[in-house]
């Protein structure tokens, strides 16, 4: 994994400290993740349309594993996007990723990150290279499972 990505990867926990998903540091104090991950953090239905209120616990597992921080939802989108604001500064060594606007993403290569408890990886991270096809990602290679695939209808499978 590229060192700049390591500095931005965030792991998000449920209220009972179970890992529910990931995100990334997008500015000095803002994290971008999926809205369904935040719903899972609060024990809500994945498709719940209302912005949850309360604190979310997270960490930066590749920089400061176990150093828990709290954040709150400041932006909530029906497009399955949530923006969190950290209550404190991130740990030393964390750096936001650069966000770019790209008009045509068809068949461009992507990297996807996630946390898989069942694989019992030392850092609990899955890293995959993919290309955009249809509505989702289709993995060509994955660091933990060489033939892993994510279906284009992934949201209906949760």
pLDDT tens for each residue of 135-157: 443 334 344 433 333 333 334 33
pTM of the model: 0.72
Is the domain of 74 the same as that of 43?
Answer: yes
Least confident range from 67-76, 80-89, 122-131: namely 122-131
Number of H helices, E strands in the chain: 3, 9
In a domain, 75, yes or no: yes
Q: pLDDT tens for residues 76-123?
A: 998 899 999 999 999 999 999 887 777 776 766 666 666 655 544 433
Is the domain of 81 the same as that of 117?
Answer: no
Is the domain of 11 the same as that of 63?
Answer: yes
pLDDT of 125 reads 44
Residue 147 or residue 52, greater confidence: 52
Q: How far is it, in rounded angstroms, from Cα 146 to Cα 20? A: 23
Burial class from Cβ neighbours inside 10 Å (0-12, 13-18, 19+) for residue 8 reads: buried
Rounded percentage of the chain residues whose pLDDT exceeds 90? 53
* Residue linked to tokens 């404190």: 88
> What domain range is 131 assigned to?
109-157
Sheet with 136-142, side-by-side order of all strands: 109-114, 126-133, 136-142
Buried b / exposed e over 40-60, threshold 16 CB at 10 Å, is bbbeeeeeeeeebeeebbbbb
pLDDT of 28 reads 94
Rounded percentage of the chain residues whose pLDDT exceeds 70? 63
Is the domain of 65 the same as that of 116?
Answer: no
Domain CATH number, residue 68: 2.40.10.10
pLDDT of 152 reads 35
Backbone angles phi, psi at 7, to 5 degrees: -75, -10
Is the domain of 118 the same as that of 65?
Answer: no
Number of domains in the chain: 2
Is the domain of 16 the same as that of 68?
Answer: yes
Neighbours of 139 (CB within 10 A): 18
In a domain, 104, yes or no: no
Of 76, 11, 18, 83, the closest CA to residue 48 belongs to 76
Of 42, 36, 15, 33, the closest CA to residue 84 belongs to 33
């Amino acid at each position: 994994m590229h060192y700049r990505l390591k500095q931005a990867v965030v792991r998000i926990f449920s209220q009972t400290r179970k890992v529910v998903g990931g995100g990334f540091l997008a500015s000095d104090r803002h994290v971008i993740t999926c809205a369904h991950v935040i719903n899972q953090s609060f024990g809500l239905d994945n498709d719940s349309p209302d912005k949850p209120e309360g604190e979310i616990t997270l960490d930066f597992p590749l920089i400061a594993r176990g150093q828990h921080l709290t954040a709150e939802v400041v932006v909530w989108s029906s497009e399955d996007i949530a923006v969190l604001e950290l209550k404190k500064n991130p740990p030393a060594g964390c750096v936001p990723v650069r966000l770019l606007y790209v008009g045509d993403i068809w068949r461009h290569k992507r990297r996807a990150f996630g946390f898989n408890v069942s694989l019992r990886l030392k850092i609990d991270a899955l890293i995959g290279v993919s290309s955009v096809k249809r509505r989702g990602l289709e993995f060509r290679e994955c660091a933990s499972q060489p033939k892993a695939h994510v279906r284009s209808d992934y949201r209906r499978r949760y």
